[in-house]
Chain A
Amino acid sequence: AQSVSQHNHHVILSEAASLELGCNYSYGGTVNLFWYVQYPGQHLQLLLKYFSGDPLVKGIKGFEAEFIKSKFSFNLRKPSVQWSDTAEYFCAVNAHNQGGKLIFGQGTELSVKP
């Protein structure tokens, strides 16, 4: 069965620090990859997605993620975080033989200190 691992459970950064959140998945076939964000008190929303083509994808609010197929990874990055980036971040994988079903990681809570 497919699985998604987010190794960082809680990350604490100061404003302007660089961010990288790890995401690894286990599935040997073709996948679509997603990052979702949940701000405090809000519902989950899509941050960015990868389907094909350029493995470096850019999302909203200055976030980007790089798909490295050989490492089964899809790490999320941001060069300079802001206090408003405080949220929980979820990586998700859609395997092409699973219809539209997404398998989510356990989430990484990001706290940015002003």
Chain B
Amino acid sequence: GAGVSQSPSNKVTEKGKDVELRCDPISGHTALYWYRQSLGQGLEFLIYFQGNSAPDKSGLPSDRFSAERTGGSVSTLTIQRTQQEDSAVYLCASSSQAGPGGYGYTFGSGTRLTVV
């Protein structure tokens, strides 16, 4: 597609429920990233996929968070047993090269998650 597409754009969920957030990267981009943006906290790295390599999960805050990328394209971020502190905007980005060059990302519009 022309850009990085994320769905849903907004999600309100009850504490304790599971949620799935979807990211559809730019066609042909081999690298895909998930970040979390909280008010006043900047962008917090969550997880990074590059091609067929094992993902870099070093930013996932707890084992309630997981992500997968199927067929090297669409990615789903799953948060189990949501907590109020999970409320944030979840951003996905993709890039065409993810080696030491790091040419910069194209971001999606994000999913605003509110846990009530």
Contacts and interface: CB of A to CB of B under 8 A. Distances in A.
Given A45-B107, A49-B104, A104-B43, A99 B35 contact: no
A100 B107 contact: no
Interface string A45-67: 11001010000000000000000
A49 B100 CA distance: 14
Contact of A99 (B41, B48, B107): B48
B104 A106 contact: no
At the interface, is chain A mostly helix, strand, loop or mixed? loop
Contact of A96 (B44, B45, B100, B103): B100
Interface residues of B, number: 28
Contacts of B42: 6, 90, 104-107
Nearest to A49: B104
Nearest to B98: A100
